[in-house]
Every structure is written in C-alpha cells, then in structure tokens.
Amino acid sequence: MLSDRFVAFLALLLGWALIGCATGNTVGKHSSADAFLSLQQSSGLDEDDWHPPGEPLEPEDSLALWAALTHSKTTLLNFAPRRTLLSLLRPLLSSGEEVP
C-alpha cells in the first residue's frame, strides 16, 4: 500500500506537471504562443516565409504562403500540417478578404 507521503508527493508532482492546463497557459516545451505559427513551422516552411504572429492575414500574404508551400519539400512528417495550412489558405485566396 502506498504511504501518505508518497501519495502527497505524487499529487504535488502531478500538479506541477499540469500547471496552466486548465487555462491554456502551459509552461514547458509543449506550449505554443500561436497555433498558426506552429502550423507554419510544422509545414516545413523556412522561417523567412512565416507570416508574423499578430498581423492580419491579407490575400497577398496568403498567396506568399501558398507559393512558399509549393516550393518547399514535402515529407511524411510535414504532409498533414501542409494539407491543413492549404485548407486554411484556399478559402482566403478565393474570397480575397483580410483575416484579423
């Protein structure tokens, strides 16, 4: 049977590991400030091609991201993020509207 001290230690360790999970403000290597930026990174785009976080995504920016995706290498690791990014960009390019 587990001692009370050990159970308290495990509870403390679990609490520390899950800091910020309820609010989305996690700490550690798995936290992400911007999901769109993370998607661009996972898609295999060069850092120079990333759309800056916090700026509106205009049709010209969407076209630049699309062009960067077509010129970058597709691998098994970045295939799904690339498809997701293309699925997000396609309606933006067809509508011609700015996304905040």
pLDDT score, position 77: 92
pTM for this model (two decimals): 0.64
Angle between helices 79-95 and 35-42 (to 10 degrees): 120
Contact between 64 and 40 under an 8 Å Cβ cutoff? The reply is: no
Residues 75/42, Cβ–Cβ less than 8 Å: no
- CA–CA gap between residue 99 and residue 92 (Å, rounded): 8
Reported as a single tens digit per residue, the pLDDT across 45-64 is 999 999 998 889 898 999 99
Q: List the chain domain ranges.
A: 1-31, 33-100
pLDDT mean over 73-85: 93
Mean per-residue pLDDT, 17-40: 67
* In the block, residue with structure tokens 């699309």: 66
